[in-house]
Structure 1
Amino acid sequence: MSYNNILVKENNGITTITINRPSKLNALNKATIEELHDAFEEADNDTNTRVIIVTGSGEKAFVAGADISEFADFDVENGAKLAAKGQELLFDFVENLSTPVIAAVNGFALGGGLELAMACHFRVASDNAKMGLPEVSLGVIPGYGGTQRLPQLVGKGIAMEMVMTAGMIDANTAKEYGLVNHVTTQEDLLEFCEKIASKIMRNSPVAIKGAIKAINANFKDGVDGYKVEIKQFGKCFGTEDFTEGTTAFLEKRKAEFPGK
């Protein structure tokens, strides 16, 4: 598939999606959100793709925010529709993908950029990364899941302070808060993420899919995560991956998971 605002590359089981609007600091406009949806969906459906990495082009930004010019004149109804559509099309969609998604945060991850990173299954940051949700400085609140995912990751108090002050934190502070898992140099960022991806790819894709569903269930209102875990655990016993994994363990050899 051909894209105007993103680059997609698949190599050795890893699909890397790069948001490519460097002149706009990779800001998310409507077209980019739609292209990202299509690229994530295509990668998730690709049996060759075992891990997805998303990053931004250039050295300045992962995603510096949403494209404000697209919604500056919106009314109440259009504003609500913008948030609902964006969450459905990209942010919730990424969170619930069955393929692991790693955010490689290089440079600024602000507003919608941080919200995209938080929708990924986990995050790695370069040491020059700056993260924040500055929406209240524009008279609006985070609308792509930021008010929900940030407190889940860093706790209510820190999330309240970050949102209310509209300030930025650096990569090391983000790691201290639990917002990112690792901090590395910008030069090593993608390679570092690829090494984590290679560890993920040693394991059962089917089991990982079930684990993602079970972990996400813990954060959904009205859903009993323990029951989801029990269901997903049980389903594993009917898979070829379970047969291969247990057989390989008993035979003291490396498992070759078929992903079924």
Structure 2
Amino acid sequence: MKSFLLEEREQGCLLFTINRPEKRNAVNFDVMDGLSEAINLAKKPGVKTLVITGAGEAAFCSGGDLSVFHQLKTEEEAYGMLSKMSNILYRLLTLPKPTIALMNGTAVGGGCEIAAACDFRVAKKGQKAGFIQGSLAISTGWGGGTILFEKLLAGNALKMLMESRLFQVEELADFGFIDHIYDGDREEVCDSFLRKILSLETDVLSAYKKMLIRKWTVSGLQKRMEEEVRNCAALWEKDVHHELVAKFLERKS
């Protein structure tokens, strides 16, 4: 089964689906490559928006696939993977088209980092999400922590990161992380959320998005994301991280 699906829908909507429901839509290198491909396709003149979601109803994305990435032991090995995904998320963040995380289920760790890199987050009622990386003795490593501080009040971002737990979707809406909570058919909800946005010309949408991108360029966001990657890579190789991941995988087996 293919790890991701790409579909060009009506009104210029490009839909990217992480298609690993048996792994709670965890990210592996194939998913990374697929997201990179989706970002490239979204630059086409006929595409107005990129929507990211997960297959099934249980999970939007459970972060990095630990069964794969636990094989990375050293700081150098971890840096290769972390920097690859960080570069993809920076490209997603600075795509000159509106982007939506259609969060159909739980978002954990790197799944929240992907969601943070999108312009809007539409979440299913009853779901939970959280940056749980701290519980595995690492920090965010794909740039999502840095992005979070760009989008939320500092206190709210710090609470989400430092408590390293799952939050109810209502709490996340109060923090400003979730823009809309839905209950029902997710594609219908997404179409409704996007209706007014997609009624505008693509050049108009891009003009507004570029205002935000200019702000991030001036503030050196990419460099700050790179520092986050390096900090996480240094923590990754520590014994405590590998011990906690091993225990986590044992519980899951």
TM-score tier, shorter chain, comes to 0.7 to 0.9
Q: Does 1:209 align with 2:176?
A: no
2-side partners of 1:219 and 1:60: how far apart? Answer: 33
Q: Distance in 2 between matches of 1:204 and 1:172?
A: 33
Q: How does 1:38-187 map to 2 (within 5 A)?
A: 38-45=37-44, 47-72=45-70, 73-88=72-87, 90-185=88-183, 187=184
Could you say if the C-alpha distance between residues 143 and 221 of structure 1 is closer, same or farther in structure 2, counting changes exceeding 3 Å?
farther
Q: 1:74 corresponds to which letter in structure 2?
A: K
Q: What displacement does 1:42 show? A: 1.5
What amino acid maps onto 1:39 in structure 2? A
Question: What SS does the corresponding residue of 1:62 show, helix, strand or coil?
Answer: strand
C-alpha distance in structure 2 between counterparts of 1:53 and 1:137, whole Å: 29
Query: Is 1:25 aligned to residue 24 of structure 2?
Result: yes
Letter in 2 for 1:210: A
**TM-score normalised to the size of structure 2?**
0.80
Aligned to 2:238: none
Unmatched 5+ stretches in structure 2 = 221-253
Quote the offset at 1:221 in angstroms: 4.9
SS in structure 2 opposite 1:55? strand
Measure, in 2, the Cα distance between the counterparts of 1:51 and 1:197: 9
CA deviations over 1:217-256 (Å, ceiling 9, x no partner): 3344546xxxxxxxxxxxxxxxxxxxxxxxxxxxxxxxxx
1:190 positional shift: 2.2
> Does the 8 Å contact 1:14/1:197 carry over to 2?
no
CA deviation vs aligned residue, 1:138-161 (integer Å, no higher than 9, x gap): 111111112212222222222222
Larger CA deviation: 66-75 vs 108-117: 66-75
**Structure with the higher fraction of residues in helix conformation:** 2
Q: Is the 8 A contact 2:133 2:139 kept in 1?
A: yes
Q: Distance in 2 between matches of 1:5 and 1:103?
A: 18
1:88-132 deviation line (CA, Å, top 9, x unaligned): 1x2111111122111111111111111111111111111122111
Q: What is the SS of the residue equivalent to 1:218?
A: helix
Q: For the residues of structure 2 that align with 1:221 and 1:50, how far apart are their CA atoms?
A: 25
Could you say which residue in structure 2 is the equivalent of 1:193?
190
CA distance in 2, matches of 1:198, 1:183: 16
**Counterpart contact for 1:14–1:194, Cα < 8 Å:** no
Give the length in aligned residue pairs. Answer: 218
CA contact (8 A) 1:133 1:146 kept: no
Which structure has the bigger radius of gyration?
A: 1
Name the SS of the counterpart of 2:47 in structure 1: coil
Normalising by structure 1, what TM-score? 0.78
The answer to whether the 8 A contact 2:117-2:144 is kept is no
Identity of matched residues, %: 30
In angstroms, what is the RMSD of aligned CA positions?
A: 1.7
Q: What one-letter code is carried by the residue in structure 2 that aligns with 1:4?
A: K
User: Secondary structure of the equivalent of 1:167?
Assistant: coil
Q: Distance in 1 between matches of 2:163 and 2:175?
A: 16
Report the Cα distance in structure 1 between the residues aligned to 2:147 and 2:205, rounded to whole angstroms.
21
* More relative contact order, 1 or 2 (CA 8 Å, 6+ apart): 2
The amino acid across from 2:52 in the alignment is: V
Question: Secondary structure of 2:43's match?
Answer: helix
Helix, strand or coil: the match of 1:4?
coil
Provide the rounded CA distance (Å) in 2 between the counterparts of 1:219 and 1:98: 13
For residues 59-115 of structure 1, the C-alpha deviation after alignment (integer angstroms, 9 at most, x for no partner) is: 100001111122323211222222211111x21111111221111111111111111
Moved over 3 A (4+): 219-223
